[in-house]
Structure 1
Amino acid sequence: MQLKNLILDLGSRTAKLYILDNEVKNINNVNWEVIEGKSSKESINNSLIELLKPINFNEIHRIHAVGTEAMRRDKKLENIVSSVCHSLGILYTTISQEYEAQLIKEAARKANITDKYDIINVGGGSIQIILKEASKAVLLNFGISDLNDRFYLLEAVGHRKIEECIAWIKKHLPETTALFGYTGGEATYLKHFGVPLQADHTCLKTDFYDFAERISNFDLQSLERVSPFGSKWMRGAVASNCVVLACLEKAQTNYFLPSDLNISHGLIEVIELNVQ
């Protein structure tokens, strides 16, 4: 039996578990929102144990975990996550934002979408933009959690500053933003809510605007009840939609490509090459 490798993508808001079994598969997610600064060593340990529940460890060669913006911002949190991973037999590394961009670029290249699309990868505390016409990625030091806080996107519907949020994001986007793919579970998210996709898997601007307007009128409890992944995942829905809307306006395009690609799709290929 060929042993498999696991990837734990320890994001700022969600911990995701991937396995390479002929293809890269996302097999579990746990919402933990460590970027909020309220996580203890015990809660992180419990989250990782919950994340690994579906795993038969007799079939596993090695478990690799990567931390992103939350761990980059908070050295104490990074040390706790590293310690918990070590105690569970997990190899842990905090990766730079530059490397995050490199991994999502590699994942997009393997999916054959970099020739036509810029790539927008949005996390809880950072955004990477891979421009097809540029050699270096554009790195933004804000993400979903920052937008939630700055524009009150988790507050009651009438208190959310959605238009201000879209305008603010738009100002921070590169002038060269063009036709784009939006990663991180976006395809599954839109399909879950019945948003129509075209034959080439793109989403029309008009359809997304209608969807975003609908979602913006959900209160937080209603959002959490209808999540395609986990209840707390939807705490980022309004902010994420704002990013897409800002990109659509900046690019002046009538459609975009929603994608389920994640940095793990790039990282697990690197790991497979290194351990064979």
Structure 2
Amino acid sequence: MHNDKLILDLGSQAAKVFRKLNDRIEQVDVLTWELSESGVSLPSIEGKLKSLLSTQGSFLEGLEQGTVEAISLEEMRKSPHLFGHMEEVCRNLKIAYRTIGQKEAAEMLKKAIAESDIPNHLDVINADGDSIQIITNVCEAPYQIPFGISDLNQQFNLLGPPNQRQIATCIKWISSRLPATLEKFAYTGKNVSASFPSRA
């Protein structure tokens, strides 16, 4: 179809792949990475993106040229070295690249959730490497915690030895930042989907 495309959502800690097919948007893959301002190389990023795209070969074959695009949040520009690498890698791979604001990113997330199999009466918590987005039925605008899975792992040592993981502290930290209106919710992220009761 003319409007079908592959969309790469490129962040500093993850790259997500979305398919837009017949005006539906579906996340189909995710690659977790750790990109820092000082410790990133262009060949490394390019190689990982090539590998990620290779898994979408059959879908890409049916697309017209130029129907693969990459996006990043505007915050990516705060890391000039990393932003420059992303621009150059996408140019090398002939992928259109642009940055988007939080509002457009939130609308994309809401559209993807609306077209998923998540029951529409549930609130949604979407967690990725960079941030946690919360969509509730009582608020039109998504609620965002500017802290992602990678940040939580680092701050609370969640990948360390079991006796050194600050799990209780992490739970308390997250709970204190959840919106008071949160009801029974579905969790999405890292290709995982599950539902949980509200905190009440």
TM-score by structure 2 length?
Answer: 0.80
For 2:27 and 2:142, locate their aligned partners in 1 and report how far apart those are by CA, in whole Å.
Answer: 26
Deviation at 1:64, TM superposition (A): 0.9
Q: Judging changes above 3 Å, is the alpha-carbon distance between structure 1 residues 66 and 141 closer, same or farther for their aligned structure 2 residues?
A: same
Is the 1:16–1:51 Cα contact (8 Å) retained in structure 2?
A: no
Whichever residue aligns with residue 45 of structure 1, its letter is E
Is the 1:100–1:128 Cα contact (8 Å) retained in structure 2?
A: no
Whichever residue aligns with residue 51 of structure 1, its letter is L
Q: Judging changes above 3 Å, is the alpha-carbon distance between structure 1 residues 3 and 18 closer, same or farther for their aligned structure 2 residues?
A: same
Deviates more, 1:90-99 or 1:109-118: 109-118
Q: RCO (CA 8 Å, sep 6+): is it higher in 1 or 2?
A: 1
Aligned residue runs from structure 1 range 185-204, under 5 A: 185-187=191-193, 203=195
| Matched residue, 1:42 | 43
Stretches of 4+ aligned residues off by more than 6 angstroms: none
| Matched residue, 1:166 | 171
For 2:27 and 2:134, locate their aligned partners in 1 and report how far apart those are by CA, in whole Å.
Answer: 23
Secondary structure at the counterpart of residue 172 of structure 1: coil
Larger fraction in helix: 1
State the superposition RMSD in angstroms: 2.9
| Matched residue, 1:266 | none
Secondary structure at the counterpart of residue 157 of structure 2: coil
| Matched residue, 2:180 | 175
Whichever residue aligns with residue 129 of structure 1, its letter is I
Aligned residue runs from structure 1 range 1-276, under 5 A: 4-20=4-20, 28-34=29-35, 38-54=39-55, 55=57, 58-61=61-64, 62-68=67-73, 71=76, 73-111=78-116, 113=118, 115-184=120-189, 185-187=191-193, 203=195, 251-252=198-199
* 1:189-244: CA deviation from partner (whole Å, max 9, x where unpaired): xxxxxxxxxxxxx65x6xxxxxxxxxxxxxxxxxxxxxxxxxxxxxxxxxxxxxxx
Whichever residue aligns with residue 19 of structure 1, its letter is R
Whichever residue aligns with residue 105 of structure 1, its letter is K
User: What 5-or-longer segments of structure 1 have no aligned partner?
Assistant: 188-201, 206-247, 254-276
Whichever residue aligns with residue 19 of structure 2, its letter is I
Deviation at 1:29, TM superposition (A): 4.2
Secondary structure at the counterpart of residue 6 of structure 2: strand
TM-score by structure 1 length?
Answer: 0.60
Larger fraction in strand: 2
For 2:125 and 2:63, locate their aligned partners in 1 and report how far apart those are by CA, in whole Å.
Answer: 32
Deviates more, 1:48-57 or 1:169-178: 48-57
Deviation at 1:88, TM superposition (A): 1.1
User: What 5-or-longer segments of structure 2 have no aligned partner?
Assistant: none
Deviation at 1:127, TM superposition (A): 1.6
For 1:107 and 1:16, locate their aligned partners in 2 and report how far apart those are by CA, in whole Å.
Answer: 13
Is the 2:87–2:97 Cα contact (8 Å) retained in structure 1?
A: yes
Whichever residue aligns with residue 160 of structure 1, its letter is R
